[in-house]
Structure 1
């Protein structure tokens, strides 16, 4: 199966470069052979004779001479994967027809006739769907869609507020709980605190709609098992950009053109069937629910409006039902007729007065490519609640450079001492109120939960007082010591929490009593504390080898956190189910961590890594290591030395000198916000002699300074706009940012915005922190167990693995910053890494190949004077070529 014939045509809407052809061929083969592929491709956008057009929904580049070509990674992913998908569907169709027509006892003419009959029968429903979609597209082109809302539902006029506050207290009683078998196959066995509010009610609701929310059931059955592409990225804005690129692509039909009455083949058009999936926060169209703003509050209010005890007139008016199957069918066809992003899907739901969050679920079956954010793909509970199966489908994860950290973040959870104490108070109040009505297992488990939370709170408080450090690793046994709490079966208790809806009952009762006393409904803008505590308790069910417990003290608050250290098992479910898994990113180097820690169980022959070069010619990039400053001082920004007043001053003078030779915009990245603030404070000081200007003023003689702030939430976008305006005005600018900050990812400093990129130091994480001590210890223990030989040799191997993992984490962040500058073939820039440690071979080998190829390594190139001279020649050469 590995000997796949290389495909030559991928229906790219423009003329792809050779590098992109290589990318698409490798992607096609990787999917065809069912492999796990890691793709690094820094290619960007090509522009020539262009102008910018901004619309209310997007910003697009248009070319006056029709010569503009978008040659990005997204188009390569789209064309390579969709070409494979259509080929695969056609092969499956041909195989089905051949098998149904195979009969050695029949004459050839009869077999051919049977084959044609089967082909026409299969394509009939396909044609009907395409005709409906074509009709919708024509309607959309002619005029704004008009829809009779009275047909959609007369419920729209009803009040969609929260459940009535006049509920009897019996509404908050727990249902009788008898399920106590540890092997219970509960479909809602999920963490309630997950992004999508994944409760038993949600799963039950989706099951109710499954199979009949759309009409034409026979049509769905035929498409249920068709292979699909699941594409996910970090943000909805990135997914919207992907949808824009998808609209450019025209892939041939997956079905062979049937012969007409004249014997000629008729051309068939098959639109790309795409669907955007999102969260309730993105898709909720109930005004009063959406106005809550917070995702957790929206999830909870949505589920409250569906509870059995809620009065009919108080339930959500937009929920799909048996009576609105025709509306759901209309929603499906309109969603598939054109490529739509998440905003379009939300607007479609408003037009048809049907909840797009639930109405999209059945549309999945007839989609070819489904886009969704990380959280909805990476959590098994989210996939199950949305009825998403990855079995034999293709999974593409873009912007995957932080995938391991993302998985760890999704499955990590924290709780504060105050939240534990508040939850304990609420739960105790509830238990006292309903003590005579708590029967059997309910009484047992509520009592156990009170004891467990009380133990967590008391022991956490004691541990925080005992430890002098601000953070430390704690053991589970330390948190449940005393009072027999360690004898509680936490597995059964966790399952009880998920199945009994205890947290919702308690929170509802707390809100009810609050309204009775104050007469006002409590505003829900955050997750109720008992839900947060429940999420933390559920995390304790993870194997101890995968994570660690930490406590930390900050701002007079004590935090208890479960941190997932090993993402392997959580992602393995996806790899085992999917036909192929593709990780893609502009800068994935260093790649060794993926093989060692994310895909350690994957056989070497099933794992491929690809690092493609840049579309720019090598002459468009120069990369340099600057190890000495203007007075000849040594640049070594280790944690112990980086606050040296002399070195900080020398750094400022060096950057001022570089700004004198680098035209237009320069972006400098610092290791952390704290260090950037320290440097800025130092640069603003007036020298003691009072005769020389401050370093800040010295730099501003060459370029105005802009800097990123961690404190202001929207400051990054504001600063970027101000910086861009200065560059556009011709005055140039210096933007001081932070590695891993808001401006280090997702923002492109192309053309004049980033003629120079300066990296100050190496942004190593704090190795002395409890978290990083635990991470390194985990990596070293894994390496020790896998290595062979003497104990001494295994110890050396484990230490080397820990150091490599630590360096890789640093260099992935550096590579992300470097990749912000060069965005298309005609772009050019200089990259200056200021730190002697960049001279080391270990560090340089962790840079992307396209950077290493342009790295100037001659001995006399590491001083400021030589760097200035070489950069002046570099930019003069490009200015001359541009003038010509």
Structure 2
């Protein structure tokens, strides 16, 4: 198939800026050529719309091009056949043979074209069906609402004789009765779009609704069972893993006719009342018009059918699939959702923290408390049902118990320990996976098979259900008392065992640990699954403590590319997009190159800001009003002179900056230090007379209320105040994903540089790993022969400073996210003040659009004059 060229003009809801046109053109060619793209477009430049109009335009063109290409090829073969029929020759055998080959080739092409035409007809019917048929279903479905059904009461009588049947492990078999038949269906090209949060995905869907392509594209929003489930009896389990297992149990059916008959005879109801329901009606609604997760859930409730499975079943006919990070980046989740990236496009938005997200997603931590809960719950479960386990399941259960006991022994306890038991505190230490498995004495266990057993047998769900029925009493160890007396003695002589009374020792946990009991085994299994990684890709850290319950183990992934290889290999094209993607070299080296990608596939695009240079005032201030050097390193954190300078600077800025001023500090601890000093020195009281003071809340639940109060205070200042001041933390709850546009963020002040703790063992190991393993490449031309022809060779070389560069980038990426909170649209304006002389050497790491306005100065009076003029000019231009 011939390659397509980008269109001269892209459909856009309003006249596009030049940078948006450039973005869409580059994106179009990235998808067409099957490249790996890194796209940076500052917030406020219409990044989402540029992605939509560039990517969807390519998708529609690609599908049309594919169809037209088949039509042209079939027509060419028809012409060839006619020419052969008209050709007069005596070699009829060769002609017949050639014609047969051409007809076979034509038939293959015709089959592909027929599938496309059949699919178009199917989609056309869906469009026609959505208005008429869906309304009928709504009226019918409102007659009966299963959400009022009490599943427990309905099934209670039926389950009396089979009370424990659903607690027994699934028998595993190598043979499968499931059919692997594939139906001939057209597989259209798909764009998988993912972002970090549900809010960001909803915003993208909203933008797509407003785009010129809203009626031309089929969008499917995928979400977890937690988000989509409308069965109250399942959703009340709260934990996502338990909801998943319960859902699978309810909708699971036996595969053989014999089993089906047995199931009917047993009269045990295990199916969910919302499955299947009217899946086709909901699927029609999803594919017929663009809807977000809330829309799909609402319609599912009205249709009394499952939103989760309807959305999954809609994927094969969808064109743009919306889903969160973990659904695409976690391989097992991706496979369970039936997502096939082969030949399709993946766009990851808000990708600036992608490397960190992959590392967190594939890391795990457990405590001794988790292990003790798991051991004792598993022991109770095994004692209750051991006689009903198959030999293979019993063997696997014993292997899992062995593994858990070895891990608790490694931490310094035993299976009979209590979480509060004191242990000899060990020093923290890190292990390679090989070293850890040997030291913990679990190297004889095949963890791959053990994890498969846990998943396939549904052990975590079965165990949790048993613990719920048993009252969830955790017996840390059983105190067994034997009955004594004449009767008991006679029973002994007759060979009868004495009755044993188990006295459970109920552990009093705090609220947090009590809530986590139900997921203890899941946490342990997640940790064991991490041990399946390549030995060089991660490390296990021993987290010592004074009690066995607090001691822990943590697996840290060091090589995120190990879990990105399949994506790079399978996907037609991968696009990483964000407002601030610098340093781009990290994505090239640590993700694409380390995943084995051809460097020629990597394409980068960076654009400036739509905001005029005159609307941004950026200053690096190296000295305070009294001439004290501003260097907020660890040694100077408690320096009274510097803290006094901070008070003077903020006091002067509050006089000049209108509206909202957001002050970012390196850590929560330093925010407290600064606040306490300002309060003790009386500066805070003076500041509060100019601007109302707010502080970033400690609890996430309080963030929304703080922002509401801050917004009200900025928009309606009480005289003599001219706005509000918000103390926040770099990398905290307010530094990412929130907008301080217009008056909410007229002045952004960043105090110090947020370098992470270099003494952290995890960080040190990451730096060491990068220094030892990071390889860069370059291209060089060389002469190949005497005719002066030249060839390009690729040279790989070690990057010994990769770890140090990574450490620097951690700091600057966090700073750039804070800066990006202010400028949100073309008419916005703000002043950015960086207080630390170390920024003089980091200007190249700041966003490009900020560098164009950056001034480095040690003169505080000049800074105040420039800022006063800046805001006066903005006020004057806005009043015109």
Please, what TM-score do these two structures have when normalized by structure 1?
0.81
Instruction: Provide the rounded CA distance (Å) in 1 between the counterparts of 2:704 and 2:858.
Output: 35
Q: CA 1:597–1:86 in structure 2 vs 1: closer, same or farther (change >3 Å)? A: same
Aligned 1:533-572 pairs, distance under 5 A = 533-552=524-543, 557-572=550-565
Instruction: Provide the rounded CA distance (Å) in 2 between the counterparts of 1:379 and 1:20.
Output: 32
Unaligned runs of 5+ in 2: 87-101, 254-262, 415-421, 474-501, 504-513, 779-796
* Residue 295 of structure 1: how far off its partner (Å): 2.5
The structure 1 residue matched to 2:710, chosen from 723, 726, 730, is 723
Equivalent in the alignment of 1:630: 625
Instruction: Provide the rounded CA distance (Å) in 1 between the counterparts of 2:759 and 2:590.
Output: 22
Matched, 1:318 2:274: yes
* SS in structure 1 of the partner of residue 346 of structure 2: strand
* Residue 43 of structure 1: how far off its partner (Å): 4.5
Matched, 1:250 2:177: no
Equivalent in the alignment of 2:494: none
* Residue 638 of structure 1: how far off its partner (Å): 1.2
* Alpha carbons 2:693, 2:726 under 8 Å: kept: yes
* Residue 666 of structure 1: how far off its partner (Å): 0.9
* Residue 863 of structure 1: how far off its partner (Å): 2.4
The structure 2 residue matched to 1:338, chosen from 275, 286, 289, is 289
* SS in structure 2 of the partner of residue 810 of structure 1: helix
* SS in structure 2 of the partner of residue 421 of structure 1: helix
Aligned 1:190-339 pairs, distance under 5 A = 221-223=184-186, 225-251=187-213, 271-306=216-251, 312-313=268-269, 315-320=271-276, 324=277, 327-339=278-290
* Alpha carbons 1:415, 1:561 under 8 Å: kept: yes
Instruction: Provide the rounded CA distance (Å) in 1 between the counterparts of 2:142 and 2:690.
Output: 65
Matched, 1:696 2:656: no
* Alpha carbons 2:619, 2:855 under 8 Å: kept: yes
- Which has the higher Rg, Structure 1 or Structure 2? 2
* Alpha carbons 1:158, 1:314 under 8 Å: kept: no
Instruction: Provide the rounded CA distance (Å) in 2 between the counterparts of 1:280 and 1:116.
Output: 40
Instruction: Provide the rounded CA distance (Å) in 2 between the counterparts of 1:735 and 1:648.
Output: 17
* Residue 783 of structure 1: how far off its partner (Å): 3.4
* Residue 391 of structure 1: how far off its partner (Å): 0.7
* Residue 157 of structure 1: how far off its partner (Å): 6.5
* Residue 583 of structure 1: how far off its partner (Å): 0.5
Pick which of 334-343 and 496-505 moved more. Answer: 496-505
* Alpha carbons 2:665, 2:752 under 8 Å: kept: yes
Equivalent in the alignment of 1:47: none
Residues 394-429 of structure 1 show CA distances to partners (whole Å, capped at 9, x for unaligned) of 110000000011111111111111110111112223
The structure 1 residue matched to 2:661, chosen from 658, 663, 666, is 666
Instruction: Provide the rounded CA distance (Å) in 2 between the counterparts of 1:775 and 1:137.
Output: 56
The structure 1 residue matched to 2:308, chosen from 354, 357, 367, is 357
Instruction: Provide the rounded CA distance (Å) in 2 between the counterparts of 1:134 and 1:784.
Output: 56
Equivalent in the alignment of 2:367: 416
Matched, 1:452 2:403: yes
* Residue 505 of structure 1: how far off its partner (Å): 3.2
* Alpha carbons 1:275, 1:370 under 8 Å: kept: yes
* Alpha carbons 2:630, 2:836 under 8 Å: kept: yes
Q: CA 1:37–1:451 in structure 2 vs 1: closer, same or farther (change >3 Å)? A: same
Q: CA 1:660–1:482 in structure 2 vs 1: closer, same or farther (change >3 Å)? A: closer
* SS in structure 2 of the partner of residue 10 of structure 1: coil
* SS in structure 1 of the partner of residue 803 of structure 2: helix
Please, what TM-score do these two structures have when normalized by structure 2?
0.81
Equivalent in the alignment of 1:149: 141
Instruction: Provide the rounded CA distance (Å) in 2 between the counterparts of 1:334 and 1:663.
Output: 48
* Residue 570 of structure 1: how far off its partner (Å): 0.7
Residues 830-866 of structure 1 show CA distances to partners (whole Å, capped at 9, x for unaligned) of 11111111011xx221111111111113xxx332211
* Alpha carbons 1:455, 1:479 under 8 Å: kept: no
* Alpha carbons 2:589, 2:774 under 8 Å: kept: no
Matched, 1:12 2:12: yes
Instruction: Provide the rounded CA distance (Å) in 2 between the counterparts of 1:544 and 1:866.
Output: 56
* Residue 359 of structure 1: how far off its partner (Å): 1.3
* SS in structure 2 of the partner of residue 856 of structure 1: strand
* Alpha carbons 2:772, 2:800 under 8 Å: kept: no
* Residue 340 of structure 1: how far off its partner (Å): 0.4
Matched, 1:100 2:74: yes
Q: CA 1:883–1:138 in structure 2 vs 1: closer, same or farther (change >3 Å)? A: farther
* SS in structure 1 of the partner of residue 624 of structure 2: coil
* SS in structure 2 of the partner of residue 649 of structure 1: helix
Pick which of 530-539 and 226-235 moved more. Answer: 530-539
* Alpha carbons 1:296, 1:527 under 8 Å: kept: no
Q: CA 1:144–1:863 in structure 2 vs 1: closer, same or farther (change >3 Å)? A: farther
Equivalent in the alignment of 2:35: 35
* Residue 784 of structure 1: how far off its partner (Å): 7.7
* Residue 578 of structure 1: how far off its partner (Å): 0.7
Equivalent in the alignment of 1:366: 317
Instruction: Provide the rounded CA distance (Å) in 2 between the counterparts of 1:642 and 1:154.
Output: 62
Matched, 1:88 2:39: no
* Residue 126 of structure 1: how far off its partner (Å): 2.4
Matched, 1:130 2:75: no
* SS in structure 1 of the partner of residue 399 of structure 2: helix
* Alpha carbons 2:691, 2:725 under 8 Å: kept: yes
The structure 2 residue matched to 1:347, chosen from 278, 290, 298, is 298
* Alpha carbons 2:192, 2:323 under 8 Å: kept: yes
Instruction: Provide the rounded CA distance (Å) in 2 between the counterparts of 1:360 and 1:17.
Output: 36
* SS in structure 2 of the partner of residue 871 of structure 1: helix
Instruction: Provide the rounded CA distance (Å) in 1 between the counterparts of 2:291 and 2:873.
Output: 44
The structure 2 residue matched to 1:620, chosen from 606, 615, 619, is 615
Equivalent in the alignment of 2:96: none
* Alpha carbons 2:39, 2:581 under 8 Å: kept: yes
Equivalent in the alignment of 1:750: 741
Q: CA 1:304–1:639 in structure 2 vs 1: closer, same or farther (change >3 Å)? A: farther
Q: CA 1:804–1:99 in structure 2 vs 1: closer, same or farther (change >3 Å)? A: same
* Residue 485 of structure 1: how far off its partner (Å): 3.6
* Alpha carbons 2:41, 2:580 under 8 Å: kept: yes
Aligned 1:758-837 pairs, distance under 5 A = 758-783=749-774, 799-837=800-838
Residues 721-763 of structure 1 show CA distances to partners (whole Å, capped at 9, x for unaligned) of 1111111114311111111112111111111111111111111
* SS in structure 1 of the partner of residue 635 of structure 2: coil
Instruction: Provide the rounded CA distance (Å) in 1 between the counterparts of 2:200 and 2:319.
Output: 19
Instruction: Provide the rounded CA distance (Å) in 1 between the counterparts of 2:251 and 2:658.
Output: 60
Q: CA 1:874–1:786 in structure 2 vs 1: closer, same or farther (change >3 Å)? A: closer
* SS in structure 2 of the partner of residue 105 of structure 1: helix
Pick which of 617-626 and 530-539 moved more. Answer: 530-539
Instruction: Provide the rounded CA distance (Å) in 2 between the counterparts of 1:120 and 1:474.
Output: 58
* Residue 489 of structure 1: how far off its partner (Å): 2.7
* SS in structure 1 of the partner of residue 673 of structure 2: helix
Q: CA 1:554–1:248 in structure 2 vs 1: closer, same or farther (change >3 Å)? A: farther
Instruction: Provide the rounded CA distance (Å) in 1 between the counterparts of 2:434 and 2:116.
Output: 62
* Residue 768 of structure 1: how far off its partner (Å): 0.5
* Alpha carbons 2:432, 2:536 under 8 Å: kept: no
Q: CA 1:39–1:144 in structure 2 vs 1: closer, same or farther (change >3 Å)? A: farther
Residues 753-792 of structure 1 show CA distances to partners (whole Å, capped at 9, x for unaligned) of 11111111111111111111111111111138999xxxxx
Pick which of 119-128 and 753-762 moved more. Answer: 119-128
Superposition RMSD in Å = 3.6
Residues 556-613 of structure 1 show CA distances to partners (whole Å, capped at 9, x for unaligned) of 6223211111110211211111111000001111111111101112222110111100
* Alpha carbons 2:218, 2:287 under 8 Å: kept: yes
